[in-house]
Amino acid sequence: MNQRTLLITLTGPDRPGVTSRLFAVLAGFPVVVADIEQVVIRGRLTLGVLVAYAGDTPTGTGGTLGALWTAVERTAEDLGLEVELSTSSDTKEKRRRGRLHVTVLGSPLQPAAMAGIAGRIAAAGANIDRIERLSSYPVTCIELAVSGADPDALRADLAAEAHAQQVDVAVQRAGLYRRAKRLIVMDVDSTLIQAEVIELLAAHAGCLDEVARVTEEAMRGELDFAESLRRRVALLEGLSEEVFEKVRKEVVLTPGARTLVRTLKRLDYRFAIVSGGFTQLTDALVEDLGIDYSAANTLEVVDGVLTGRVIGEIVDRPGKARALERFAREAGIPISQTVAIGDGANDLDMIATAGLGIAFNAKPVVRQAADTAVNVPYLDSILYLLGISRAEVEAADAEDVDVPPGP
């Protein structure tokens, strides 16, 4: 039996009861609901309802398809709305298959950027089904629901356009896959915090320039991390352990860090940090932010003085990936439901291991390897990649008076 569809689109000033009135009319005909989308922008409603029916004309208490058409038009007129109706026999609804979320971040977001992104989507033979704003500050975030595109090909096309337009773009599969990222594993130095801890220590030891040079080589992947760590730590020999308390006071969180952790913890995510830095500093972050799991190196201290050595196994590039896998096992979470966030070459293995790898203000080699890159300076922008809007964050803060909003 041939199945047809009828698309009903209502537009105009929003008011209570529009949806219920429309479906009360449709209930009088032998149709089934195939799809619904609704958007309200500054009080103006766009409501689309796709219904399917068998045969050429649905009949019911209202009679033929023409009767249904007339009933919907009368309802729209009564509600002060415009209505558009169109029929189709394309029962496969090809454009609904393979739906993706395309998230665009800009600060500011220029019209040319959106033109470029939309043009690439159209050139790929895909369709934009819905556009929604997730945030207007501190960055503008727009999410597009896209159908009919190959994810890998579209990701490559949009990455090139994002670079040209100086915006961030992420492409992810829609549905439960996207919402099922339940463990976040994050690098610490230059990601969760705004500095490299070893450089803060080196400043107190009077060897900052030499340490910074070795750090930069390691971050670019030009030097083995374990060797670079030993060389840098050796320069700290003789420092008093009192330096740890001084450096703790100098550590500054990346903007949006508290909001990110607080929001995800409310949603029952598990949060972990992995660091090539040192437990003498990361332990304080764990306590302050309520982090669930952590892994970092430990500086050896003898008689209150740093010896210039590291105790135990070094948390290096493969060590970070192993830590992610260990945290996932302890939390009972599949690797596919993990997110890894980092900025340097030392994070590449965990970014590759995780279900979603995010490069945050990262070196070029990391941006190229990650699933997506975020280059705005606000860590809570990562929430938008998980489909969490700024309005939802603020609503949760307003409801939880015990947790004051913070950066």
Residue 187 annotated to the active site = yes
Tokens 């809570």, located at residue:
380
Residue 152 annotated to the active site = no
- Calpha distance 81→14 (Å, rounded): 9
Amino acid at 370: A
- Calpha distance 14→338 (Å, rounded): 39
- Calpha distance 5→13 (Å, rounded): 26
- Calpha distance 11→68 (Å, rounded): 18
- Calpha distance 169→401 (Å, rounded): 34
Per-residue burial over 8-33, b if 16 or more Cβ lie within 10 Å, else e, is bbbebebeeebeebbeebbeebebee
Q: Which of 129, 157, 189, 347 is catalytic?
A: 189
Say if residues 40 and 65 touch (Cβ distance below 8 Å): no
**What are the helix and strand counts (H, E) for the chain?**
16, 15
Tokens 């400043």, located at residue:
203
- Calpha distance 293→34 (Å, rounded): 44
Q: Report the alpha-carbon angle 103-272-382, nearest 5.
A: 15
Q: Which of 157, 187, 371, 380 is catalytic?
A: 187
- Calpha distance 144→104 (Å, rounded): 8
What are the Cα distances from residue 366, in Å, to 114, 270, 375? 25, 24, 12
Tell the burial category of 175 from Cβ atoms under 10 Å away from its Cβ (0-12, 13-18, 19+): exposed
- Calpha distance 283→404 (Å, rounded): 22
**Residues taking part in catalysis:** 187, 189
